Each structure stands twice: as structure tokens, then as C-alpha cells.
Structure 1
Amino acid sequence: MLVPMPAHAADPATIFAVKCGSCHTYGKGEKVGPDLKGVTDRRSRTWLAAWIRSSERTIKSGDSVAMSLFKKYKQERMPDQNFSPAEIAALIDFLAAGGPVEVDRVRPRHASTATAADVAVGRGLFFGTVTPSTGGASCAACHMVREGASSMQGTFGGDLTHAYTRFQDAALSVVIRRPCFPRVGTMLTAEETFAVKAFLRYVDGQDAARPATKVPR
């Protein structure tokens, strides 16, 4: 069961390690509560968000899944959380992307070490002027970012301007690297993942009016 945490929540990888890990595992079996590997396949995002926010309210609503879990785990209620909707969404995305297993396995290079050339490669991969080694569509086929005064490219998959702030460094590497539609069945390499992450960090900082390295064109 999760432990309440203050409003200034950390990235989803830290949230899981510090606030979920005492009662849950990811792929290592049941603990005080259920193993969370595959939970995003078993439950809808809407249900998970409601459960994370307030398991007690979900149980009291008469939800059959909630009541079954409550009974199975010795009527131990998971404490209600003060996470923001964005924090809950990031945590669910983190679990869907492979959770702590992937973060521990990859141990990605931190985007703060990127050069201007790395950021430029990431920009090319994002907008499709650089082709990923495994093929597939560019990020901009579905996603947009705000760079400078402009909003560019697709909106089907949502705005990634502040993806770096939302996910933080390690978890964002996992999210970027996993196969997604329409890049089904393909994965970016570690180097390509790093470059895209570096670009998203640059865009995030630029949008927040923080100093940023100029991107070579």
C-alpha cells in the first residue's frame, strides 16, 4: 500500500521506490499488496487513477474489483494520496513502460551531460529529419512540442513540451525507448533515446525561460 507524500512529489521512479516499494513489488511477487507488474493491462487508467487517489472512496463506492482486493489483502486500506493528476498519470505511465525493472536495467546517461550536437540529433529524430536506425515514424507524427513561440507537429499523442519535468530523467528514458504506435515493434537505440531526451530537456527549459544551449540547425 502506498504511503502519503507531500505535494512536491518527485519523479515517478522515486515515487515508486520510496512510497510504493514498501508494500508492492514490480515482477517479484506479492508483498503486503499485489505485484504491480502488468497492472496497467489488468486495470484501466481511470480505475487506477481513482484507486491511487483514494482506495477508501473506491471501496465505499461498491466497486467490485476494489472490494475483492480489500478482502484478499486482509482488509488493509491503501492510504489516500495527495498526488496531483499529473503525478498520478506519470506514475501509471511509468508502470506501463516497464517500471523500476527497466529503469534499473537501462541506467541511462543523464540529459544534463548532453552537448549541443546531441540535442540537435534529438531534434532531428523527434521531427523526422533524422531516421531512427530501426525505422518507424518520428515522434512528431503524433506529438507536439512548443519550441520558441511556435507549437509544432502532431497533437494525437499529446504535448511533450514539459515531458522532462513530468517524468524526470531516468523514467523518461524508459518511456521514450519503448515501442509505441505507430513505431510498433521497433525501439530506439540507447544513443537515440538519449538524444531525444536531451532535446526534450532543452525544449522544457526553453519554454520555462531558463537558459538553454542553442540548438545547431
Structure 2
Amino acid sequence: MKVNLVNLHTVTSFLYRQATSVESTAKQSHSCMMMSVEVQRYTMLLIVVVVAVVAALVPVASAGQCVDAKPGANFTNERYYGLWYEIGKIQTAGGAFFEKDCVCTNIAIKADPSGNAGDAIVTNSCRKKTPQGQYLNATAKLIQETVPGKWQESFFPFAPTQTYTIIYIGDDYAVEYDCESVFGLLNYCIHILSRKPTQDPDLTKKLLQGSLDMGLNSEELEYVQTLQEGCW
């Protein structure tokens, strides 16, 4: 097993400084409210420790980097808002954490009224294994839209974000590419989307090939079609 010792040393040093800071602050806290804040900080620190140590000790599966993909030239936020059905996907193991057992997958996009200009909310929904299976969903925020169609996606506060880019979009189709590289581990997803649960196979093939030509599938993973039949 190849251990990333540089990352482990860096993370350990950072955590030691943070723990020292928290301990010093805690000694100065006397009220119940301050104790509650310190407990929350210790809890968050523990989460960071677990994630950092695991990431540092896991074998380095890929030394690749995310592709700086460009959004579709005809993209507008309003064009992307609404409901989309997933026709198929390419995902690394980390990218498939939520969707591993998903069928009937769809995503809903809307503007975030409480965010900055361009911010949006994306809700990912699916059924587990069968169209009658358990309903699953995960909501994320799309923030820091540097150019139309390119955001950072955030699922949890303080957690690393990932790039989220709409590389193709039309009236009834879109392709979304998200990617992150943390502690030398590369995770990415390519999602072929449609306004309907079905899509012309020739269009799907064209969108998929265009994504591959951009070098987005650096791990050469297989394309997996998403089950939509019997879902609606």
C-alpha cells in the first residue's frame, strides 16, 4: 500500500495547531453557551481528523487532475433550471458514493434566493435498486459561479467542494461534469441528462463521445445506462 506521507505530515501539523488553539480557547470559556461552541468545534475537529487520516493512508488510486472543462457556449442559468432525468453516467468509486444503487435518477435545479447572484440549489433523487425501492435524495448548493455554467458544488459546510460544469446543453439535453482532487485522489462524474426519461440513442452516443474527446474520462471507466423504465 502506498501511503502519502507528505500529506499525512501536513495534515498532522495542521491538526496539532488547531487542537492547541481550541484547547487554549476552551480554557477561557466559562459559560454554557461557550462550552457548547467548543463541543461543536471539537466534534468538527474529530471529523477532520478521521477524514484526513483515512485519506492519507488510503492507497493513491490516481494521480490525475480534474479537467478545466469549459461550459457550453449557449448556456444560460434559466435554461438549466428545472427537472432533468439521468440517461447514463460515468463515475469513479468516490463519485458514485450516493448513486451506487440508484435507478430512476433525476435532478432538480433552481435558483438559490438566499445565495449570491448565480447560486443555485440542486436536488438529486433516485430509487434504490428498483423503481419501487427506497426513495433517496441529496441536496447540494452550486456556488461561486465564475462563468455561466461553472460552479463549485457544496454538499456540507466545511467539506471540500468540487467543480460542477455544464459542458453541453440544449432544449432537451445536457451533460454535467463534476470533479474533485483531494489528497491526491481523483473523483469525477459525467452525467448525460434529458428533459424526458428517454433520449435518442444517437444523441446519447454523440454527447458521450464529445465528453470523451474532452479527456474527461481519464480513468477510462465504463459508461452505465440509468434505468428509467417503469419509474414514471
Whether TM exceeds 0.5 here: the answer is no
TM-score, normalised by the number of residues in structure 1: 0.27
Greater per-residue helix proportion? 1
TM-score, normalised by the number of residues in structure 2: 0.26
Instruction: Please tell me whether Structure 1 or Structure 2 has the larger radius of gyration of its CA atoms.
Output: 2
Greater per-residue strand proportion? 2
